[in-house]
């Protein structure tokens, strides 16, 4: 996801969604994403939630970098890259991105980087613990995760 501060400086979010229970595992804002920073975000997610069987992502340079591929191979996590121009192959994340755009990014004007960080943390909490999901029987993901 991409947006900008009020002064025009770019902000990009790396979102990690659990395909099973729709939890927002990570939503990390940065100015740019490179292999090292993706590995850092993935390693924090894996430490907190365990290693998944696979990661599904697009073919962006930050996801296909040798550092990311080496890290995932070491963690024994398979990669499932979607075909370029085929967002429907990553439906859970595309659906999330649409909701994040409509319900969060379009509602905020970020003046400072601090605002981006604080409001992103609030969005994660809202999304996981309060926001009802039609695909989960109108329960939030955290409730679904506990029920599972």
Domain boundaries defined on the chain: 2-147
Residue with tokens 């604080």: 118
Residue with tokens 């490179």: 34
Q: Please state, in angstroms and as integers, the Cα–Cα distance from residue 29 to each residue in 60, 113, 126, following that order.
A: 16, 9, 17
pLDDT of residue 146: 62
Query: Integer distance in angstroms from the first to the last C-alpha of the chain?
Result: 29
pLDDT of residue 110: 97
Length of the chain: 148
8 burial class (0-12, 13-18, 19+ CB within 10 angstroms)?
Answer: exposed
The pTM (predicted TM-score) of the whole model is 0.87
2-147 topology per CATH = Nucleotidyltransferase; domain 5 (3.30.420)
The per-residue pLDDT for range 8-20, each reduced to its tens digit, is 999 999 999 998 8
15 burial class (0-12, 13-18, 19+ CB within 10 angstroms)?
Answer: middle
User: With bands split at pLDDT 50, 70 and 90, how would you rate the model's confidence at 143?
Assistant: confident
The per-residue pLDDT for range 51-74, each reduced to its tens digit, is 999 998 887 888 788 999 999 999
Distance CA 59, CA 57 (A): 7
Coil, strand or helix: which one is 65? coil
The per-residue pLDDT for range 72-122, each reduced to its tens digit, is 999 999 998 877 777 777 777 888 889 999 999 999 999 999 999 999 999
User: With bands split at pLDDT 50, 70 and 90, how would you rate the model's confidence at 49?
Assistant: very high
């Amino acid at each position: 996801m991409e947006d900008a501060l009020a002064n025009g400086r770019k902000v990009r979010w790396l979102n990690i969604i659990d395909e099973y229970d729709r939890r927002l595992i990570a939503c990390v804002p940065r100015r740019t994403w490179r292999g090292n920073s993706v590995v850092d975000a993935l390693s924090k997610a894996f430490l907190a939630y365990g290693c998944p069987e696979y990661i599904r992502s697009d073919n962006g340079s930050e996801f296909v970098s040798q550092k990311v591929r080496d890290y995932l191979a070491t963690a024994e996590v398979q990669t499932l890259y979607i075909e370029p121009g085929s967002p429907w192959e990553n439906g859970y994340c595309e659906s999330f991105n649409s909701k994040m755009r409509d319900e969060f990014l379009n509602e905020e004007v970020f003046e400072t980087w601090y605002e981006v960080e604080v409001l992103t943390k609030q969005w994660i909490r809202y999304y996981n613990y309060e926001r009802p999901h039609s695909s989960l029987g109108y329960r939030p993901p955290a409730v679904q995760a506990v029920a599972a």
